[in-house]
Amino acid sequence: MLAQFYPTQWLDSTYEIPFETWYEKGYRGIIFDIDNTLVPHGAPATKEAVELFRRLHKIGFETCLTSNNKEPRVAPFAKAVDSKYIYKAGKPKKAGYEKAMRLMGTDPTTTFFVGDQLFTDVFGANRIGIPTILVKPIHPKEEIQIVLKRFLEKIVLYFYQRQQKKKGA
């Protein structure tokens, strides 16, 4: 039952993902969450984020920011990093992920997702069958509803880590 919330990979930061390796495996589209995945919650695009997206586009990736936030938050960030975007995505519903793939011209076999939350980001991507990379939140300051979910995430991640040890990963 908990496996529906398990990420494909769990890393410390978006900025340590071996994107070239994913491209070599045939992936061409990346769906990203923004807050606490690329920058602290509510922060504008940083130089590091802009440079990351420049690098991704140079590699050959299409990108789409997919956020449950409103357009005034998402659009300026997307413009700064030169990415397609979806606001009020309704994660974990499938529709936002499917729309992102349509915008990028990719499908579940050529797309993966990067985000910081299990119950929205990872669960939604898992529902449509795309690989997921869970990253640790960039900053501890979060909205109260997210803080409450983090407690439950710790339980799920405990069992995820046990499963990974059994696999020898």
Strand partners of residue 39 = 35
pLDDT tens for each residue of 80-115: 999 999 999 999 999 999 999 999 999 999 999 999
Sheet holding 84-86, edge to edge: 9-11, 132-135, 111-115, 29-32, 62-66, 84-86
Helix 71-81 to helix 47-59 angle, to the nearest 10 degrees?
Answer: 60
Q: pLDDT tens digits, residue range 58-75?
A: 999 999 999 999 999 999
| Buried/exposed 58-84: b ≥16 CB within 10 Å, e otherwise | eeebbbbbbbbbeeebbeebbeebebb
Tokens of 169: 């990963």
pLDDT tier at 141 (50, 70, 90 boundaries)? low
How far apart are the C-alpha atoms of 15 and 10, rounded to whole Å? 13
Per DSSP, the residues of 59-108 read HT-EEEEE-SS-HHHHHHHHHHHT-EEESS--TTSHHHHHHHHHHHT--T
Predicted TM-score (pTM) of the model is 0.89
